[in-house]
Structure 1
Amino acid sequence: MDRTDVNWRGYWPAAPTPFGTDGAFDEEAWTSLLGNYADQGVHGVLVNGSTGEWFSQSRQERERVAATAVAAVAGRFPVVVGVSAYTPGEAASLARHAAGIGADGVLATPPPYVHPTADELLAFYTEVSRATDLPFMVYNWPRGVAVDMAADQGLVHRLCDLENVVAFKDSTGDWTRMLATVESVGDRVRVFGSFLHRRGLAILGGLGGDGNIDGGGLGAPYAVPAYEAVFDGDMARAAEWTDRYATLSSALITPEYNGRIASPISQLKAAMAMLGQPGGTVRPPLLPVTSAEDLERVREALVGAGLLSPGGVR
């Protein structure tokens, strides 16, 4: 397989998994959120990624979340299931479940906490990507796993040579390293990175790149039309939309993917609640945003981006 075997591109939310105040998975809210994404015209969705809080779910819950998503989306856009785990055996088993429910692809970060070497990473991804015939996306997520694969382009090349790897999600936090990924493997695999700003548009219009996978999808009202404009070759119109997206993103997230107000998922779910979106709350070890000061900062970010009126009306 290579990039031509999938149509993955554009703006994808990394969907948050809704939990109720009692901590239970809220399947009704989950189905509603996926319908929301369809209404917004997103180009794909990642479920059970970091934003989906896979780390606080049981194996049975991860399977239920994934199966519900595939059924709810019903082929309207690609559903890629996160199968990140501490061992290749567990990740491969989750990948086989994803294949069995009809997912469009799977994704995995390096094993968290372990800090594996390049050879260990290659062995991990070889086993997990070969577990099924599904298209596979490698996810470089140094904030979460303490390994920046983009720093080792030799490793990136070897990973993208694996038979089922068709995409590379590069959330390095180092923009020049992300550009090196686009330049070195973008002709073979789809590259998702940080493109929703004017510098990113210049890269999309020249060097390459395929899309953004964005925690939560708050920016969909701006990012979806931005990518549609890119697809149409109208970079001036795309720039207008990316400017609006960048206003929101920069108010909430640092270039290193840290939250400016609270943990990124906690502030995301607080923002979704203000917008009337079915995001639910977070599970421990994360804590919900509760202080009046922090909630006001989240509200100001939404107002500044034009998603919420100063009076709090959407």
Structure 2
Amino acid sequence: MTTTLISGGSMDRDDVTWHGYWPAAPTPFTSEGELDEDAWRALLRLYAAQGVHGVLVNGSTGEWFSQSAAERRRVAEIAVSELSGRVPVIVGVTAYTAAEAIGFARHAAEAGADGVLATPPPYVHPGPEDILAFYRQVSSATELPFMVYNWPRGVAVDISAHPGLMSGLADLDNVVAIKDSTGDWLRMLGTVEEVGDRVRVFGSFLHRRGLAVLLELGGDGNIDGGGMGAPFAVPYYEAVAAGDREAARGWVDRYAGLSSRLINPDYSGVYGAPIAQLKAAMAMLAQPGGHVRPPLLPITDPERLDAIGAVLKESGLVEALSGDNADTVSGRAGR
């Protein structure tokens, strides 16, 4: 699946088909801290085999903050080469300045990405006018469809807390989607109500409340850190699209049984930093997540690793994986 680019004029939600369950992909690093290109290709192929509806690379889970500019470009190029024409590939271009973000966006366009995404500049604490000006610059730098990313946990500002700001961003010519990862669920609902008719909204819908919203109010999908829940979340979104409420309830309950035991409502990890926790779990599942890179440290405490392994088993995720893959799960996940 590819995205049709619009030359001139304004885009909206109907100019893309973005929907459903997307992993925000981790970037695999070796134990020595090098970019592991073989593992990265293997992970992308795993996502394609799982039937995910799109992939985000170089987002927060992708540890963009510890990569060099050359590594970020290489990660994007490999993702496009592996997935182009199969599922949409959106490249994260978050940076401290508009000029940096624009450079990454232009590279993504040259590489053949289907779209780009950015948070407001981290650390800066920009106000509403600053945020609107930043997105106006970055989103207009290429003809790629653009996704605004509201990530208060990572950038210390909540776009949804400023009345009218989401609407102003939705009106920008190339903005076709908003990923609203505010920790305030009611604010996320406000985003769906305010702009869901103009742009696609990816938010928190993988629970019973989220199902009710998708069926009655709107919303388009989840972009989930790591995508471990794909065996439950992919069929959930397909059941939602088919209007099969009973099947959707069954799948979303299974997903919630996994996610709620690993991730807190504020998006922090239960047993450690979310990315370190994710990569530890992926290692137990023999998935090519690789190692974290400093400043993050791996989870090594045996009790916490045992707890993560118990969640993987008790949630039914190990059983849901293919027989061959399930047989390779480490001993901790089998306890």
The two structures share one fold, judged by TM-score above 0.5 = yes
Specify the code of the residue in structure 2 equivalent to 1:267: Q
Shift in Å at residue 308 of structure 1?
Answer: 2.7
Q: Distance in 2 between matches of 1:199 and 1:122?
A: 31
Distance 1:255 1:185 in 2: 23
* Partner residue in 1 for 2:196: 186
Partner of 2:300: 290
1:21 aligns with 2:31: yes
Which stretch of the first structure deviates more once superposed, 292-301 or 137-146? 292-301
Which residue of 173, 185, 192 maps to 1:175?
185
Residue 268 in 1 paired to residue 278 in 2? yes
4+ residue segments displaced more than 6 Å: none
What is the distance in 2 between the residues matched to 1:74 and 1:118? Answer: 35
| 1:304 maps onto 2:314 in alignment | yes
SS of the residue corresponding to residue 179 of structure 2 reads: strand
Q: Which residue of 1 aligns with 2:323?
A: none
1:118: Cα distance to partner?
A: 0.5
Give CA-to-partner distance per residue, 1:163-220, whole Å, 9 cap, x none.
Answer: 0000000000110000000000000000000001111000000110000000000100
1:257 lines up with 2:267 in the alignment:
yes
Partner of 2:224: 214
Q: Distance in 1 between the 2:141 and 2:315 partners?
A: 43
Structure 2 CA distance for aligned equivalents of residues 223 and 191 of structure 1: 17
**Quick check: 1:197 aligned with 2:197?**
no
Q: Paired residue for 2:247?
A: 237
TM-score (norm 2): 0.92
SS in 1 for 2:34: coil
Deviations 1:107-154 (A, max 9, x none): 000100000010000110000000100000000000000000011131
Instruction: Tell me the SS of whatever aligns to 1:69.
Output: helix
Distance in 1 between residues matched to 2:245 and 2:193, nearest whole Å = 20
Give how far 1:313 is off: 5.5
Match of 1:49 in 2: 59
CA offset digits 1:272-302 (Å, max 9, x no partner)? 0000000001000100011101111110111
How far has the Cα of 1:229 moved from its partner?
A: 0.3
Pick one of 5, 10, 15 that aligns with 2:15: 5
**Paired residues of 1:84 and 1:91 also in contact (CA < 8 A):** yes
8 A Cα contact 2:310 2:334, kept in partner: no
Structure 2 gap segments, 5+ residues each: 1-10, 320-328
1:81 corresponds to which letter in structure 2?
V
Map 1:100-115 onto structure 2 (within 5 A): 100-115=110-125
**Separation in 1, partners of 2:14, 2:117:** 18
8 A contact 1:153–1:181 mirrored in 2: no
Q: Unaligned 5+ residue runs, structure 1? A: none
Percent of aligned pairs with the same amino acid: 68
Deviation at 1:236, TM superposition (A): 1.1
Quick one: distance in 1 between partners of 2:205 and 2:142? 30
- Residue number in structure 1 paired with 2:74: 64
What is the rounded CA distance, in whole Å, between the counterparts of 1:313 and 1:227 in structure 2? 28
Q: Following the alignment from structure 1 to structure 2, what is the Cα–Cα distance between the partners of residues 177 and 84?
A: 23
Is 1:81 aligned with 2:91?
yes
Aligned residues: 314
- Which residue identity is paired with 1:118? P
Aligned to 2:168: 158
Output the CA distance in 1 between the equivalents of 2:184 and 2:261. Answer: 19
CA distance in 2, matches of 1:155, 1:92: 21
Instruction: Note if contact 2:313-2:334 (Cα within 8 Å) is conserved in structure 1.
Output: no
Q: Which amino acid aligns with 1:210?
A: D
Post-superposition shift, 1:303? 1.2
**TM-score normalized by structure 1?**
0.98
CA contact (8 A) 2:125 2:155 kept: yes
The answer to whether the aligner puts 1:226 opposite 2:239 as a matched pair is no
Q: Are positions 1:94 and 2:115 aligned together?
A: no
C-alpha deviation, 1:74, in angstroms:
2.5
Q: What is the RMSD of the two structures over their aligned residues, measured on CA atoms?
A: 1.2
SS state at 1:116 partner: coil
